[in-house]
Structure 1
C-alpha cells in the first residue's frame, strides 16, 4: 500500500488495525509447548499497527499529517531505537529548516528595513524582533517603527522651528517674519539656517538704510529749497536723516532762524562800524564814537542821526556849562567875600552864573538887601522840603509831593495835614477807578479771546493791577493752557473710544488699553491699521493655539490623511492565524473612526474564531468606544437659541473574519437637535437597521446623557460638546452594557 493511499485510510480502518495489533501482542503457548506460528497476515497486521502508532507519535512530536505518515511508512518495520532515531533526525532537520527559514526571513527583514531608511542597528533590532512573526505583522511592526521615526523627526523639526522663531525674534524680526523664516528653514542645517537669518537681517537693514538715504536726499532738496547752501543742506540732512518728520522740520526751522539771526547781526555790525566812522568824523573821540555806535547800531538812520546830533549838542552844551561853572565859582568867592554864607554864596552864584557882570553885581546887592527876606523864605522852604518828604513818604509822586508842599508851605501844620489827607484820598479813588476800568477792559478782552464769563472775570481780577504786557502774557498763558487742555481732552476722548473699539473687536482690557495708549494721537486710518494688525496677530496666535490644543487632545487621530474628516473609516490593526494541535485560531483587531475637525469617536474591536481547518466551533467580538478632542468648556456652551447637529454614525456587529474590509462597519446618519435655552437635546440615527431614538436629555457640564432605544433594545447614550463654542458633538451608544454605536455631528446655524 502506497503512502498516499495509506493516508486515505478511514479512521474506522485505522482503529480496527490498532485493535488487531493489540490483540496479537504478548505471548501464548500451544498445547505442545512450541513457539507460536505467526502467519504473514498477522505480520502485516503487526506492521500496520506499528505504523499507526508511529504516525500518532510523530504527530504528537509536532510533525504534520503528511510528514507523520511518511515517517511511519518508512520506519514501520524498523526497531524501536531506529524508529526513535529516525524521528529525532526528522525533528532536527525540521528544526534546522525552520531556523534556516527564520534566519533567511531575518536577513530579508534587515534588507527591507534598511531600504525603508532604518540604520544598520535599527534594521537588525527590528529583524531580530520580527523574524518569526507573519509577513503582515512584520510589515505592521516596520510601519510603526517608520512612523515613530518620522514622528520623532517631525518633533525635532518642530522644536527646531520654535527655536528658530525665538532666535529670529531675539534678532529683531517681527512675529510674522520670525514664523515665516522658521517655517522655511526648520529642516535645514544650523549653518544654512544661520545664513538665511543673516540674509534676512541684512535685507531688513539694507531696506532701513535705503529708507534713511531716501529721506536724506529728500531733506537735502527741502533744505536747499528753503534757502540753505549745498553744504548746509547736506549737513542738515545727514544730521536729521533718521529722526521723525516733526523733529527734522524743527531742526530745519532752527537752522533757518540761526542763519537769519546771523545775517541780522552781520548787518547790525556793519552799521555799527559805519556809525563809529561817522561819529569820529563829526568830532567825537574814539570812545565816544564807539559808545554812540553801540547804542544806535540797531536803530534806523534817522534815529541814529538824531542821537549823534544830540551828542554833539550835549558836547557843546558841556563846554558852555564849563564856562558857566567857572563864572559860578568866581561869583561864590565874591559873594562869600561880601559876607554871604557858603549856601547863600552858592545860591547866588548858581542863579547868576550865566548873567553879565553888571547884572550879577546888581543881583548880589539885592541879595544882601534881601537877606532878611531870604531867611524868612528859607524857613518857608525848609517847611516845603519837609512837606515834600512827608508827602512822598505818604505815597505821592515827586511831582505830587512838590505841588502839595508848594501849596501848603506857608500853612499851619493842621491845615497842611488836612490838605495831604485829601490829596491821598483823591489819588486812591482815582487809582481804584483806573484799576476797575482796567478790570472791565480785561474782561472784555478775555471774553473776545474766547474765555467764559467766569474765566474772564477770574483773569481780570488777578491782572487788573498788572502792566499791559504782564496782563497780555497772563491771558496768552491761559489761552494756551485752555487749548492744551482741549487738545488733551480730545486725545483722551479718542483714547477712550479706541479702548471701547478694541474691546468690541475682541481685545482684552489690558490689550485694548495698551493699543489705545499707543494710538491715541494717531490718525483714524493709522489707528485702524494698528488695530487690524493686532487682531490679525491675535487671530493667528489663537488659530495656532487651537490647532495645537486639538492635536494634543486627539493625538494621532489628528491626521486627516489617515482619518479623513467627516468620513467613517476602518483600519485593520492586527491579524494572526495560528494552529496548535490541529486547533486553528484567528484573531483580528480593527478600529472604526469618525473624524471631525475638533473631535473624533473611535470604535476598537477585537474579533476571534476557533475551529479545525475551515470548520468553526466558536467565534466572538469585543468592542469599546472612545471619544477624543477639544472639549467645550461648560460656560462656553451657548445659552440661547436652537441648533441641529448632523453627521454620521457607525456600528460593527459582524465579525470581520467573515466579511471584507468594507464590511467592517455599517454607516448611518445622525440628526440631533439641541435647545440651548431649555438645555435639552434629542435626536435619531437612521441607516443602522431600525431607527435609533436618542431620547431627550439635559445638558450637564459639557455633555448630555440619556436613554437610547432601537426597536426592542434599550440602552443609553452619552455625548460631549466639542470645539470652542460647541461646534461639534461626538458620543457613543451602549446596548446591553456593551458599546455598540459611535456617532458625531457638526452644528448648523443657531436660530432664535
Structure 2
C-alpha cells in the first residue's frame, strides 16, 4: 500500500526510516563527498532586479493595489538581495558555489534564506513605497550544477506583513543553475547515480534523502530510471522519454537568465500516483544530470529534487 504521507502530506513516517540512509546506511553514494572544485554558478544582479519587479514576485499587483501606483509604469531602486546572511547590491558578483557547509567541495546540500529589499518609484521618480520579499531555498550542488527548491514568497510592504497569496499544495519553484551541456554524445549509454531529496518532513529533519539511478541511451536519445526511498512503496519510477533540445525559453528562476541545453521531460509514477519529472544535462560532456519530480501533478512544483553523476564503470 502506498505511503500517502510522502505524496500528499508531510513525510511523517519517512523521516525516521531515512535517517539511516542519510547518516551512513545502505545508500553509500549519498555520503560520498567528491573532492573536486566547483564550477562557478553566478547570478546576474541586473537580471535579479528585472525579475524582482515581474509578475513572478507579485510586485505589479502590490504596486497597483497597495501602493496606489500604475502597475505598467513603475521601476525599482536601491535593490539589495541577502543570501546566506550576505547582502549584495546591483552590480555585485554573486556566486552560489560559495554556499554550503563544504565550500569548494561537491556535493553539498545548503538550506538558506533569500531576502530582497527595494523601493518602488513611479515614472517621475517619486517613491511609492518599500517592498521586502522572503523565501527559503534548498540547494543541492554538484561540480557543474545546482538543483534547487525555492519556497513560496512572503512579502512586507512598508514594513508590514502582507499576505499576497496562499497555496493549498506544494508551492516550491524549481531552480536550475550551472554549466549546461551544449553538445551531447552521439552514441553510447551512460548510467547516472546520485541523490534524491525532499523538503517534506515533519520537522524532525530539514530534508530526507533517497538515491537516484538513471540510464541514458545517447544513440537512441532517451532515458529512464528510478528514485528509491526507504520502503518500496515510496519509490518513484522515471519513465522512458526522449532527449530534447532546450531553447532560451528555459530560464533561471531567480535572475531570469536563459538556460539553453538539453533535457528530458517524462512521466513519474509512485504507486497509484502519476506526475512528471524534468531532467537536464550539465557539464561539458554531460557528466551530470539534475532535475525534479512533481508527483502531485500540480505543474512545476518540486516534490523531489535529484542530482547524479555519470558512473565511471
**2:95 aligns to what SS in structure 1?**
helix
> Normalising to structure 1: TM-score of the pair?
0.22
- Out of 562, 565, 568, which is 2:106 matched to? 565
- Out of 220, 227, 231, which is 1:685 matched to? 227
Relative distance call for 1:734 and 1:143 in structure 2 (3 A) is closer
Instruction: Please name the residue that 1:144 is paired with.
Output: 86
Listed one character per residue, the Cα deviations across residues 138-169 of structure 1 (whole Å, up to 9, x for unaligned) are: xx699433x559x95xx6xxxxxxxxxxxxxx
Q: CA RMSD in A?
A: 3.2
Point out the structure with max Rg over C-alpha.
Answer: 1
Instruction: Please name the residue that 2:175 is paired with.
Output: 626
5 Å-filtered alignment, 1:288-687, equals 556-559=95-98, 561=100, 565-573=106-114, 589-606=135-152, 622-633=171-182, 636-654=183-201, 659=203, 663-687=205-229
Listed one character per residue, the Cα deviations across residues 654-687 of structure 1 (whole Å, up to 9, x for unaligned) are: 4xxx625xx2221111111112222221111112
CA contact (8 A) 1:679 1:699 kept: yes
Give the superposition deviation at 1:739: 2.6
Relative distance call for 1:620 and 1:637 in structure 2 (3 A) is closer
Relative distance call for 1:601 and 1:589 in structure 2 (3 A) is same
Instruction: Please name the residue that 2:8 is paired with.
Output: none
Relative distance call for 1:141 and 1:601 in structure 2 (3 A) is closer
Q: How many residues align?
A: 180
Give the superposition deviation at 1:741: 1.3
More strand by share: 2
**1:664 aligns to what SS in structure 2?**
coil
5 Å-filtered alignment, 1:50-199, equals 143-145=85-87, 152=92
Instruction: Please name the residue that 1:713 is paired with.
Output: 273
Unaligned runs of 5+ in 1: 1-139, 156-554, 575-586, 609-617
Instruction: Please name the residue that 2:121 is paired with.
Output: none
Could you list the structure 1 runs, at least 4 aligned residues long, displaced by more than 4 angstroms after superposition.
560-564, 618-621
> Normalising to structure 2: TM-score of the pair?
0.50
Instruction: Please name the residue that 1:730 is paired with.
Output: 290
**1:594 aligns to what SS in structure 2?**
strand
Give the superposition deviation at 1:652: 1.5
Separation in structure 2 between the aligned mates of residue 561 and residue 644 of structure 1, nearest angstrom: 27
CA contact (8 A) 2:84 2:112 kept: no
Relative distance call for 1:607 and 1:678 in structure 2 (3 A) is same
Separation in structure 2 between the aligned mates of residue 620 and residue 716 of structure 1, nearest angstrom: 16
More helix by share: 1
CA contact (8 A) 2:190 2:310 kept: yes
Separation in structure 2 between the aligned mates of residue 708 and residue 625 of structure 1, nearest angstrom: 16
Separation in structure 2 between the aligned mates of residue 638 and residue 571 of structure 1, nearest angstrom: 35
Relative distance call for 1:143 and 1:591 in structure 2 (3 A) is closer
